[in-house]
């Protein structure tokens, strides 16, 4: 049976674009509820200046409220050396570094050029290796950009190769604005696997292709998928951005296909229902509203 590690990014990517700003204690509770449902990896926080993303303020307070569970990897996003400095002072297990392959998108998102971000990422990966912290690198806009249009997959793979050679523990191709179709995902993942490091996919459902892309990514060799409970999320720097693929919808699909995740789907649905109450609105996910069902007889 194939196994896939799901990283729930709702506490970070999911909440960063929501109009309602949650305090650190509530965000920590979301992390704890996800862990209790069996989610093996959680992107808990982002070490970003609160003036840029107020939803991510007090990352240290969130980490302090986490009730650690054995077997769960707790990660944080750091976009520069200052962010990494903060992360390494916490009890987090893993650093996630992200940048946009698209120059214009990276300027709007990070306030600097792509090459400058790549060099920052290379430093962070090197520092993490010295500190014994696992490092995942996410290549944003790997499939397309709202400003630059289509992205050359050769450029994406060249940048991925730099990080693989530099010691990154994992590389994730991100469909940041939800433009990818399965053919593109299959190609990037299949070629990425040849780099010799674990490959993941971070997918958004903006054009209703996210779940199809996730299944193709697994078939092509991806071993990690990012998703967000309830389907919440979106990038505040991308026009008309919508949520990540929904964790419980993804788990329903993967379990039906015989792919093991280690996640309790019923427990995950309860997390989505709780989050709906916290945010005070109906969420984008579908399974938590439709109910759990056994898709395969017997």
In this predicted structure, what is the pLDDT of residue 270? Answer: 98
Beta-strand runs (E) in 101-197: 134-140, 170-175
25 has a pLDDT exceeding 90: yes
Choose the catalytic residue: 7, 145, 235, 246: 235
In this predicted structure, what is the pLDDT of residue 199? Answer: 98
298 has a pLDDT exceeding 60: no
Domain extent, residue 221, equals: 5-290
In this predicted structure, what is the pLDDT of residue 240? Answer: 65
| Vertex 226 angle, CA 76 and 190, to 5° | 120
Is 235 annotated in the active site?
yes
Q: Which helix (H) or strand (E) holds 200?
A: strand 199-203
In this predicted structure, what is the pLDDT of residue 294? Answer: 81
The pair of three-digit structure tokens given for residue 26, joined into one six-digit string? 């509530």
In this predicted structure, what is the pLDDT of residue 243? Answer: 79
What average pLDDT does the segment 125-132 reach?
98
pLDDT, tens digit, for every residue of 240-295?
Answer: 667 799 999 999 999 999 999 999 999 999 999 999 999 999 999 999 999 999 87
In this predicted structure, what is the pLDDT of residue 2? Answer: 86
CATH of the domain at 25: 3.20.20.70
CA distances from 75 to 42, 154, 174, 263 (A): 6, 29, 17, 18
Q: What percentage of the chain carries pLDDT values higher than 70?
A: 96
In this predicted structure, what is the pLDDT of residue 237? Answer: 61
In a domain, 296, yes or no: no
pLDDT, tens digit, for every residue of 146-204?
Answer: 999 999 999 999 999 999 999 999 999 999 999 999 999 999 999 999 999 999 999 99
In a domain, 42, yes or no: yes
pLDDT, tens digit, for every residue of 56-80?
Answer: 999 999 999 999 999 999 999 999 9
In a domain, 297, yes or no: no
Looking at the 3D structure of the chain, how many domains does it have? Answer: 1
Residue 91 region by backbone torsions, left for phi larger than 0, else alpha for psi between -120 and 50, else beta = alpha
Assign 3-class secondary structure to 50-84: CCCCHHHCCHHHHHHCCCCCCCCEEEEECCCHHHH
CA distances from 282 to 130, 203, 218, 272 (A): 44, 21, 29, 10
In a domain, 298, yes or no: no
50 has a pLDDT exceeding 70: yes
In a domain, 295, yes or no: no
What average pLDDT does the segment 106-122 reach?
92
In a domain, 205, yes or no: yes
In this predicted structure, what is the pLDDT of residue 276? Answer: 97
**Is the pTM higher than 0.85?**
yes
Question: Mean pLDDT across the chain, nearest whole number?
Answer: 95
């Amino acid at each position: 049976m194939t196994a896939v590690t799901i990283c729930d990014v709702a506490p970070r990517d999911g909440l960063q674009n929501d109009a309602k700003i949650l305090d650190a204690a509530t965000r920590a509770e979301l992390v704890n509820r996800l862990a209790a449902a069996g989610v093996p990896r959680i992107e808990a926080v982002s070490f970003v200046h609160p003036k840029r993303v107020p939803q991510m303020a007090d990352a240290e307070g969130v980490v302090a409220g986490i009730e650690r569970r054995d077997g769960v990897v707790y990660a944080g996003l750091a976009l520069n050396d200052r962010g990494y400095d903060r992360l390494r002072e916490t009890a987090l297990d893993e650093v996630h570094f992200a940048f946009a392959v698209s120059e214009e998108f990276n300027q709007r998102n990070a306030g600097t050029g792509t090459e400058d971000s790549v060099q920052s990422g290379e430093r962070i990966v090197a520092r993490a290796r010295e500190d014994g912290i696992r490092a995942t690198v996410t290549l944003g806009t790997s499939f397309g950009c709202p400003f630059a249009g289509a992205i050359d997959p050769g450029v994406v793979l060249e940048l991925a190769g730099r990080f693989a050679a530099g010691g990154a523990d994992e590389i994730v191709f991100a469909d940041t604005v939800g433009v990818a179709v399965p053919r593109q995902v299959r190609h990037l993942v299949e070629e990425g696997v040849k780099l010799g490091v674990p490959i993941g996919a971070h997918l958004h459902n903006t054009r209703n292709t996210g779940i199809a892309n996730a299944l193709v990514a697994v078939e092509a060799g991806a071993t990690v998928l990012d998703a967000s409970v309830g389907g919440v999320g979106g990038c505040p720097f991308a026009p008309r951005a919508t949520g990540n693929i929904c964790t419980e919808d993804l788990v329903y699909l993967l379990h039906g296909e015989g792919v093991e995740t280690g996640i309790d789907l019923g427990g995950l649905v309860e997390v989505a229902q709780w989050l709906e109450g916290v945010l005070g609105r109906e969420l984008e996910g579908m399974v938590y509203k439709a109910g759990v069902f056994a898709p395969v007889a017997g």
